[in-house]
């Protein structure tokens, strides 16, 4: 008899005999593989912690005992065991379950995650809250990977927890990989621990944690016994588990980077289901990576930095070809930015590639270490705008707003691959200030993108279409949405279209002409309205006494959840149909 269909909560799980749990683990793996094969998602991480997930909910009294999954890539089994088995088919889908733990989704999701290295600080905060409220028997567990625990914030949490009397258990899920293979000295130390060649002093014991391990994270009876024993130990504890990412699917074990989030695949063989092989535009990430390598071969001062995203950002091309001039620094955005600043201070030309949502984690470094010193670091902000099914924790919607207020910083958004190449070429020629170049996830619009480089004039936009009555000002790839919407209008008819290219500095000469010639102005951006590109245009209009009404198309002041990019654009009112409907209403006024 199948066990998993009868598990609707951890209470059901705890009624099973310990001997039946390995069979449940096998069913859970099959279930995760079935769903992710068809619906896509984060596969390898969740397969690697199936036994741990069962053991934790079997031993601890969740949700009263607090359990936090760092990042949350590995929480699919947790969701399945905590009342979301039937709805798991909607995971990462529009209107469905979030791909990450989310407090509003379930009482078993003790803390929302999506970015790494937050779990230790959060679980310590909960342990302190329990102690102060008299809940002395409540247990507090955080599960964190070997890549995430190397981050600065994780060390800050360990440093505090180690001197605290709080009852916390940190479970180090050591599989030697995050999304890409783990890097750095801590990885080497953990490898030595696993091999029994580490120095006598244990780094975690030196931080005042009661250390247990290494322990086989796939041995369910051993896991349950270990956790039961640790329940009796007071104070800060660390359990070091050795697991295999992708456990149970041969392809996922062998190709761990690919099968972190593999897309659709054959659930029986693990083979990826490839899309159409017809030639199409490349991904912006590919254009970035190949262009950077092309430029670096010609300019020996160019260096590359990425915090733990060499494959996703395509920095891997330069790392593989010129390894002494390009680095994956691990999950360390603050370090990445200040490392780039140090390089720029001594004459190198650093391209610091960070996902837009992750640059938020290094905001002080951008201001204090780069902009304040006016160091010409080149920030390449990948995954700008709505990113799709990773949802609210990963959308790159705020970069324009949070960067626009910083002095000494240019902000550029290419509309296509050629503009991305050309601004990268321009930046490495030498800039007076640092620059942020933001571009989206996924494919662009050009197949002939490898064109000769052209220098871009800083602060200059482009008129794409002369019009009447209405001027549409777009920034970045939102201009392609506008172009699609305008395809039904004649060359000489309304409205006009302007690709502004720079959010900062704005092309004020062009804006004066636009506000003088057009009674109505529309701005379109794939970012938040508050403080964004449209706000910059409104500020210009106010400062120069223009009274033209300005309509801003951007994301309203709320968080956007998961879905396809097209679904989310429609929800946010950034799709061609919504913009066209507004344009038609204005045109009725002018007729």
Token readout for 460 is 């200059």
Q: Which residues contact 467 (CB under 8 A, 6 or more apart)?
A: 493, 494, 495, 496, 497, 518
Catalytic residue flag (residue 361): yes
- What gap in Å lies between CA 465 and CA 474, rounded to an integer? 12
Catalytic residue flag (residue 517): no
CA distances 176 to 108, 212, 257, 333, 351, Å, are: 28, 18, 11, 20, 27
- Could you tell me where the DSSP H helices lie in 203-276? 203-206, 220-230, 250-254
Q: Which residues contact 299 (CB under 8 A, 6 or more apart)?
A: 349, 428
Token readout for 90 is 């909607």
Token readout for 346 is 């001594």
The bridge status of strand 550-555 relative to strand 520-528 is parallel
Of 214, 208, 176, nearest in space to 195 by CA: 214
Return the number of other C-beta atoms located less than 10 Å from residue 15's C-beta: 10
Which letter does DSSP use for residue 453 in this model?
A: P
Which one is catalytic: 245, 383, 404, 438?
Answer: 245
- What gap in Å lies between CA 203 and CA 414, rounded to an integer? 46
Angle at alpha carbon of residue 166, lines to 164 and 171, rounded to 5°:
100
Token readout for 535 is 């706000």
Contact at 8 Å (CB) between 230 and 169?
A: yes
Three-class SS state of 365 = helix
Q: Cis before residue 89, ω within 30 degrees of 0?
A: no
Which one is catalytic: 333, 419, 561, 571?
Answer: 333
Beta bridge partners of 497: 465, 472
Catalytic residue flag (residue 234): no
Sign of the alpha-carbon torsion through 403, 404, 409, 411? positive
- What gap in Å lies between CA 347 and CA 84, rounded to an integer? 54
Q: For the chain, first and last CA: distance in Å? A: 72
- What gap in Å lies between CA 424 and CA 415, rounded to an integer? 14
The bridge status of strand 462-465 relative to strand 496-499 is antiparallel
Three-class SS state of 200 = coil
Token readout for 29 is 């793996």
- What gap in Å lies between CA 130 and CA 135, rounded to an integer? 5
Token readout for 540 is 């210009």
Contact at 8 Å (CB) between 173 and 52?
A: yes
Token readout for 572 is 């946010």
Return the number of other C-beta atoms located less than 10 Å from residue 493's C-beta: 14
Which one is catalytic: 66, 361, 421, 529?
Answer: 361
Contact at 8 Å (CB) between 83 and 106?
A: yes
Token readout for 296 is 């670096």
- What gap in Å lies between CA 158 and CA 142, rounded to an integer? 12
- What gap in Å lies between CA 239 and CA 289, rounded to an integer? 39
Catalytic residues: 245, 333, 361
């Amino acid at each position: 008899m199948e066990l998993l269909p009868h598990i609707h909560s951890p209470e059901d799980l705890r009624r099973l005999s310990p001997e039946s749990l390995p069979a449940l683990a096998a069913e859970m793996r099959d279930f995760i593989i079935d769903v992710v094969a068809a619906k896509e998602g984060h596969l390898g991480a969740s397969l690697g912690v199936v036994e741990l997930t069962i053991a934790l909910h079997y031993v601890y009294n969740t949700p009263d005992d607090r359990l936090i999954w760092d990042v949350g890539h590995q929480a699919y089994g947790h969701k399945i065991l905590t009342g979301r088995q039937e709805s798991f088919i909607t995971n990462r889908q529009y209107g469905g379950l979030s791909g990450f733990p989310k407090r509003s989704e379930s009482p078993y999701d003790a803390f929302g995650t999506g970015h790494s290295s937050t779990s230790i600080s959060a679980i310590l905060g909960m342990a302190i809250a329990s102690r102060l409220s008299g809940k002395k028997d409540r247990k507090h567990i955080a599960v964190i990977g070997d890549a995430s625990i190397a981050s600065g914030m994780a060390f800050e949490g360990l440093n505090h927890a180690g001197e605290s009397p709080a009852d916390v258990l940190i479970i180090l899920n050591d599989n030697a990989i995050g999304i890409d293979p783990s890097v750095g000295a801590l990885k080497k130390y953990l490898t030595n621990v696993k091999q029994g060649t580490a120095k006598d002093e244990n780094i975690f014991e030196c931080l005042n944690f009661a250390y247990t391990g290494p322990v086989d994270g796939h041995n369910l009876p051993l896991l349950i016994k270990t956790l039961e024993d640790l329940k009796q130990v007071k104070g800060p504890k660390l359990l070091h588990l050795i697991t295999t990412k992708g456990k149970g699917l041969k392809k996922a074990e062998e190709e761990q980077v690919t099968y972190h989030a593999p897309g659709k695949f054959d659930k029986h063989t693990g083979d990826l289901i490839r899309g159409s092989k017809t030639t199409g535009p490349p991904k912006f990430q590919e254009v970035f990576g190949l262009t950077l390598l092309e430029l670096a071969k010609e300019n020996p001062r160019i260096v590359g930095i990425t915090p733990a995203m060499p494959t996703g950002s395509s920095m891997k091309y330069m790392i593989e070809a010129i390894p002494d001039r390009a680095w994956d620094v691990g999950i360390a955005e603050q370090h990445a930015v200040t490392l780039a600043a140090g390089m720029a201070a001594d004459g190198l030309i650093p391209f610091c590639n960070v996902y837009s949502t992750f640059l938020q984690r290094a905001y002080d470094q951008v201001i204090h270490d780069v902009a304040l010193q006016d160091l010409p670091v080149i920030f390449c902000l990948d995954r700008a705008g709505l990113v799709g099914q990773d949802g609210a924790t990963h959308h790159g919607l705020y970069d324009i707003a949070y960067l626009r207020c910083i002095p000494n910083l240019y902000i550029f958004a290419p509309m296509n691959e050629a503009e991305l190449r050309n601004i990268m070429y321009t930046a490495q020629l030498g800039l007076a200030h640092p620059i942020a170049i933001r571009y989206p996830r996924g494919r662009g619009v050009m197949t002939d993108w490898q064109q000769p480089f052209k220098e871009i004039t800083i602060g200059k936009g482009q008129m794409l279409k002369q019009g009447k009555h209405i001027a549409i000002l777009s920034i970045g790839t939102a201009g392609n949405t506008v172009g699609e919407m305008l395809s039904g209008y004649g060359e000489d008819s309304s409205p006009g279209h302007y690709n502004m290219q720079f959010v900062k500095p704005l092309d004020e000469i062009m804006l004066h002409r636009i506000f003088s010639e057009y009674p109505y102005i529309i701005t379109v951006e794939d970012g938040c309205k508050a403080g964004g590109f449209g706000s910059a245009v409104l500020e210009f209009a106010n400062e120069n006494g223009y009274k033209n009404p300005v309509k801003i198309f951007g994301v309203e002041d709320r968080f956007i959840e998961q879905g396809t990019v097209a679904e989310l654009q429609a929800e946010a009112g950034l799709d061609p149909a919504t913009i066209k409907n507004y344009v038609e209403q204005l045109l009725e006024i002018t007729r």
